[in-house]
Amino acid sequence: MTSTSPSGVSLPQPQKQKQINLLRGWPNPSLLPTPLIASASNQALSNPAVATPGLLYGPDPGYQPLREEIAGWMGRFYGRGGERGEAERICITGGASQNLACVLQVYSDSVKTRVWMVAPCYFLACRIFGDSGLTVRGVGEGSEGVDLEGLERGLREWDEELKRDGERKALKQPRPWSKIYRNIIYCVPTFSNPSGKTMTLSCRQKLVQLARKYDALIVTDDVYDCLQWPTSSKSSTTSLSKAILPRLVDIDRTLEPVPGSESFGNSMSNGSFSKIAGPGVRTGWAEATPKFVYGLSQCGSSRSGGAPSQLVATMMAELLRSGELERHIKEVLNPAYEKRYGIMMRAIQKYLEPLGIRSGEVAADGRDIFGGYFLWLELPLSVSAETVADRAKVEENLIVAPGYIFEVENDQSIKFPNSLRLCFAWEGEAYLEDGIARLARVVEKIPNQKAKSSTSRYPRDLLENYSKIPKTEINVHLEEVRSDAWNHYPYPSIGLFICLDLGLSGDDLPKDDPSNPSATEAISSTYSSILQKLKNGGRFLDVGCMFAQDLRKLVYDGAPPSSVYGTDLRGDYFEYGYKLFRDEAMVPRDQFIAADILDS
């Protein structure tokens, strides 16, 4: 049974509405390596030399054979050669979440430390920071993975606050195995949860330098790095057995130690078997400098209870020693996730793109490679993601994650009202396309959706062709500018971005208006006349130009930049125009005049 949407796309309607959950970030049960773990368990428990220490309290840094196997595996994957002597840089943890809590217990203080989360963020980490009594602030992801300028501004302000309040005493007493960082920066730099974005190499290098400058510890959840595949038929698959980029902990390692840092370093990699062996394994690892790793191993819970996951660590060591886990990743997980990703992307192109919904897919630092579990969708600015998620659950028995849950808790500075996160890892392959079709049916029913989506193309075309903003970055860029402008001027025209309609050229007018079939033709003729006069030395003043998108369209179409002028009530509008179109070198500022020309 099918129906035809207003956009002309056939939307299948299943007769029975099984729940489809595109929120859950778990691996599908069919992808769990149950037989491999059973075999590794048998190997470990049938050998008294392994089983006995596995069932007793473990050493503080964790099961030594697993530390060595992880060091070798990480060395091979990240291109360092795999020296087993690097095991001193590894300690075994109870998984990425448990380890984050331990890191905060050892290396932060609720009075002296501030946390910075890259947003959209892995939302469940917010509670871990809150449980440690830490103040958390958000910093935008930007086009390269983190807004470095905004982050440094926040770090500098926090430094100044600490200096002004010099008598503020830390709650924790100094301990020889640890230190208290002034800042902790938390991010998922590769195939991020939730956005899927990968931080560029340049941004990684600059972020490490920033951390060193402001006494920050960068905690990176590197849990998706191994799950990667090509997105283009032109891409070679031979290189995907290696990491596409160095981790921040690798970059930090290559730099000279910061004077006075006592060799704790400024980055820690949080690793986990949850995404590659199964979340129930509850085993992971931390990698950092040997001094940092030792301090982490002295966390009270490890000192009292022994190393986390001691028994399961023996099984994971066997899985790595035999090579079975790496084979499982290469031969089972990556092909399966590549297929699932392809199904969902094709469904998005078929059902959602005609509605003005864009995938936030981004290439990994210029490479045609994607990975992880998630896709990030940008809805038209007139459509609330929360409304879509609520209606999807009620009307279609479809569960999706609205953008607001990925905002940093207790920080209203960065919001995602028009975004959705979708997971392609949990549901069966057969339900992925159906899930997207259901989502399309929900969006189709939202009033005025089609009218708004039909006008969404042209500002994007101008940003891509005039401003040379990469197509994959335009949605995020639009949302960043819109959110900033909305915070200062909460007008409907800004909230809906009607202020970006290209009315002068007629590009944003419907081409088949039955009430006035010649309207578009007349406007187009007028626009052509204006453009020709400007090319012949004329001048044009746009009264009420707002962000001056029509003037930029004229310049893009060949009008001399010196021939266009704009005026509006607020000079800030012009600044938002420059921020939006990134053309300060093209259109001089003195051609924009803030004034009310109707004021007598």
Within a domain: 317: yes
Assigned domain for 280 exists:
yes
For residues 501 and 452, state if they share a domain.
no
Q: Using alpha carbons only, what angle is made at residue 212 by residues 142 and 156, rounded to the nearest 5 degrees?
A: 65
Residue 463 lies in a domain: no
- Please give the pLDDT value at position 492: 63
Amino acid letter, 82: G
The single residue listed with the structure tokens 């950092």 is 288
425 with 340, same domain: the answer is yes
Each residue's pLDDT tens digit, 113-155:
999 999 999 999 999 999 999 999 999 998 899 999 999 999 9
Q: Which of the listed residues 287, 322, 357 is the one where a domain comes to its end?
A: 322
Query: Does one domain contain both 508 and 559?
Result: yes
Residue 234 lies in a domain: no
- For the chain, the domain total comes to 3
Write down which residue in 267, 289, 322 finishes a domain.
322
> Which of 457, 480, 508 is a domain's end point?
457
Are residues 427 and 510 located together in one domain of the fold?
no
**Nearest residue to 98 via CA among 307, 262, 278, 318:** 307
Is residue 275 within a helix (H) or strand (E), and if so which, with residue range? none
In a domain, 564, yes or no: yes
Residues 318 and 332 in one domain: no
Same domain, 444 and 484: no
Three-state SS letters, 296-352: HHCCHHHHHHCCCCHHHHHHHHHHHHHCHHHHHHHHHHHHHHHHHHHHHHHHHHHHH
Bridge partners, residue 190, by sequence: none
Please indicate, yes or no, whether residues 360 and 307 belong to a single structural domain of this protein.
Answer: no
Backbone angle region of 306, left / alpha / beta, with phi > 0 → left and psi within -120 to 50 → alpha: left
Q: Whole domain around residue 419: which residue ranges?
A: 14-30+328-457
- The per-residue pLDDT for 461 is 77
Return the amino acid letter for 291.
K
CA distances from 54 to 41, 120, 419 (A): 11, 39, 45
User: Are 272 and 219 spatial neighbours (Cβ–Cβ below 8 Å)?
Assistant: no
Residues of the chain under the 50 pLDDT cut: 6, 14, 237-238, 449-456, 508-516, 519, 600
Do 448 and 583 reside in the same domain of the chain?
Answer: no
Q: What is the CATH number of the domain that holds 340?
A: 3.90.1150.10
Q: How far apart are CA 499 and CA 82, in angstroms?
A: 56
Same structural domain for residues 125 and 250?
A: yes
Phi–psi pair at 165, nearest 5 degrees: -110, 55
What's the CATH code of the domain at 156?
A: 3.40.640.10
Task: Report the distance separating Cα 187 and Cα 207, nearest Å.
Answer: 11
Residue 286 β-bridge partners: 91, 270
Same domain, 152 and 64: yes
To which residue do tokens 């003043």 refer? 541
User: Phi, psi at residue 203, to the nearest 5°?
Assistant: -65, -40
Same domain? For 107 and 253 the reply is yes
In a domain, 4, yes or no: no
Residue 450 and residue 551 in one domain: no
